[in-house]
Amino acid sequence: MTNLTHIDETGKAHMVDVGAKPDTERTAVARGEVKMLKTTFDLIAAGSMKKGDVLTVAQIAGINGAKQTSNLIPLCHPLALTHISVELALDAALPGVQITASARLRGKTGVEMEALTAVSIAALTIYDMAKAAEKTMVIQNIRLVEKHGGQSGDVVNE
């Protein structure tokens, strides 16, 4: 059975004490998609959304989201990220937008939640920017692709 690190011996939630852990290089990559109608896709691709440049705004929102992760997820530690990138790619086959976020730091705890939050906030921003054109968009398949560093070692899911 796996020990839940965010649950104390009495079964109550608590923030994990990472003070004794060594600082190590830690990276994480997450991905997700926003699936939409072809007409909405075409508006985004043409830069014709009334709210402006959907992909640039979503990219900046994703970066800001990663930096705010500990304010959004109650038991996450505030982290001094050394790098966060959010890449958005139009995918006509979906149709929609593929989102990839990478986070990095040297510290005592991992950056998986920061990468996942970046993808989530970027996806929500795409929805917000395009909802006037379509309210049936689907935010889907948000997942950790890989993480490196820390006691649990490397994980590669794709």
Active site residues: 128
Distances (CA, A) of 126 to 64, 95, 157: 14, 13, 25
Strands in 24-35's sheet, in edge-to-edge order, are 83-91, 96-107, 24-35, 138-148, 155-156
How far is it, in rounded angstroms, from Cα 156 to Cα 126?
27
Nearest-5° Cα angle at 108, 107 to 114: 70
Q: DSSP assignment, residue 2?
A: -
How far is it, in rounded angstroms, from Cα 143 to Cα 129?
22
- The answer to whether 127 and 139 have CB atoms below 8 angstroms apart is yes
